[in-house]
Structure 1
Amino acid sequence: MSTDITQVTEKTPTDTPETIGGGRIYRPLTDIVETDQGVSMMLEMPGVAADAVEITLENRVLTIRGKVKPVRPENLELAYDEYGEDDFERAFTLWDDFGPDRIEAEMRGGVLDLTLPRAPESQPKRIAVKGA
Structure 2
Amino acid sequence: MAAEKELQVKEKQQAQQQAEGTRDIPVYIPDVDIYETQDALVMLVDMPGVAPQDVNIDLKDDTLTIRGTVSDYGLGETPVLMEYGVGDYFREFTLGHYIDQSKIEATMKDGVLKLVLPKVDRAKARKIEVKAE
Match of 1:12 in 2: 13
CA distance in 1, matches of 2:59, 2:87: 23
CA distance in 1, matches of 2:126, 2:108: 33
Q: Which has the higher strand share?
A: 1
Match of 1:65 in 2: 67
Match of 1:83 in 2: 84
CA distance in 1, matches of 2:130, 2:35: 31
CA distance in 2, matches of 1:125, 1:77: 57
1:68-92, CA deviations, whole angstroms, 9 ceiling, x for partnerless residues?
1033584x64332222221101111
Match of 1:8 in 2: none
Alignment of 1:18-57 (within 5 A): 19-57=21-59
CA distance in 2, matches of 1:128, 1:43: 38
TM-score normalised by structure 1 residue count? 0.80
Could you tell me which runs of 5 or more consecutive residues in structure 2 were left unpaired when the two chains were aligned: 1-11
Match of 2:132 in 1: 131
CA distance in 1, matches of 2:21, 2:110: 25
CA distance in 2, matches of 1:65, 1:77: 25
Flag as ranges the 4+ runs of structure 1 deviating above 2 A.
15-20, 70-74, 76-80
Secondary structure at 1:48 match in 2: coil
How far apart are residue 32 of structure 1 and its match? Answer: 0.5
Letter of the 1:12 partner, please give it.
Q
Match of 2:111 in 1: 110
8 Å contact 1:61–1:91 — kept in the other structure?
yes
CA distance in 2, matches of 1:83, 1:16: 20
CA distance in 2, matches of 1:67, 1:92: 18
CA distance in 1, matches of 2:83, 2:21: 19
Higher relative contact order (CA 8 A, sep 6+): 1
TM-score normalised by structure 2 residue count? 0.79
Percent identity between matched residues is: 37
